């Protein structure tokens, strides 16, 4: 009997459910400190897609702010774009919160939510990015943030759908086909 239980356990581990199961971002009770000092409880966004983008003001991809703003406006009923300023890639986001807000507002008329500056890689990465980049935590895939303007798409149920490198423009069919 003991051997049968061991074999059953082994069989279950090998052929049963994966040990990594999809997990909702909402099960983590994430709160983001926003650039204006307020707090955003991500659970208030249930039922909408969320596109997290680590952003920077002095990057070759900075013009993507325009596409992100258009995406935010065009799909405002079912999508929230959230910019996450980050200075970890070439020091391309050196400004203060006020400077970042001023830049985004005056140059690109950004109205989508922006968090405070955060780390998106390394041992001090923000807990949200620890979840976004770890299959063990999100249940879907592991990744690393390679550069500014990398995008992570969350579905209305809070599950990671996919991530897109900086070269994927906000209006790319790769993104649009998933949120339509």
CA separation for the pair 97, 70 (Å, rounded): 23
Tokens representing 1 are: 């009997």
CA separation for the pair 96, 83 (Å, rounded): 15
CA separation for the pair 173, 170 (Å, rounded): 9
CA separation for the pair 105, 177 (Å, rounded): 28
Q: Which of 140, 118, 125 is nearest to 34 (CA)?
A: 118
What are the CA-CA distances from residue 173 to residues 49, 101, 145, 180 (Å)?
A: 16, 29, 21, 10
Active-site choice (13, 59, 86, 104): 59
CA separation for the pair 148, 65 (Å, rounded): 11
Annotated catalytic residue 86: no
Q: Mind telling me the catalytic residues?
A: 59
């Amino acid at each position: 009997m003991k051997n049968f239980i061991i074999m059953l356990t082994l069989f279950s581990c090998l052929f049963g459910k994966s040990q990594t199961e999809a997990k909702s971002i909402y099960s983590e009770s994430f709160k983001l400190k926003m650039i204006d000092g307020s707090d955003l409880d991500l659970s208030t966004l249930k039922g909408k897609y969320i596109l997290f983008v680590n952003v920077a003001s002095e990057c070759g991809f900075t013009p993507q702010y325009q596409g992100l703003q258009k995406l935010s406006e065009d799909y405002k009923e079912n999508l929230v774009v959230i910019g996450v300023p980050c200075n970890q890639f070439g020091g391309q986001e050196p400004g203060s919160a006020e400077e970042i807000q001023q830049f985004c507002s005056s140059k690109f008329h950004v109205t989508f939510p922006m968090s405070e500056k955060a780390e998106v890689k390394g041992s001090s990465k923000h807990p949200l990015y620890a979840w976004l980049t770890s299959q063990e935590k999100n249940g879907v895939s592991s990744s690393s943030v390679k550069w500014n303007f990398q995008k992570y798409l969350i579905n209305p149920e809070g599950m990671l759908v996919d991530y897109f490198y900086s070269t994927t423009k906000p209006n790319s069919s790769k993104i649009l086909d998933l949120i339509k």
